[in-house]
Amino acid sequence: MYTIIKRLEISAAHRLLLTYESKCCNLHGHNWMVTIYCRAKELDENGMVADFSQIKKSIKERLDHKCLNDVLPFNPTAENIARWICEQIPTCYKVEVQESEGNMAIYEKD
């Protein structure tokens, strides 16, 4: 089994749609640290699990310096963002989304 890991920093804003009062309902930003895990039993015709630059293009270019509420069709919690990122990359099986030093969400496929 081959595994690759891609780390990205994404600067983006969001506001959460919550059923309770929270300062996170106000527009605010983070420098998100995203760690993307991909694996494959066999390498592709280029000798790769996935192309690092293609991962960056498919995620960072879509989210960096954006208001996530405007570009994602769901409540942009760290948990939902992690799942969405994982779904964008065929070989991805796990994503970690860290929105601040002490707050991280992890999504793993079953």
Q: Count other C-beta atoms under 10 Å from residue 95's C-beta.
A: 26
pLDDT (tens, 9 = 90+) of the chain, 110 residues, equals 999 999 999 999 999 999 999 999 999 999 999 999 999 999 999 999 999 999 999 999 999 999 999 999 999 999 999 999 999 999 999 999 999 999 999 999 98
Give the pLDDT score at 31. Answer: 97
Token pair recorded at residue 78: 């760290």
Residues 51, 78: contact at Cβ < 8 Å? no
User: Which residue segments constitute the domains of the chain, with CATH numbers given?
Assistant: 2-108 (3.30.479.10)
pTM for the model stands at 0.95
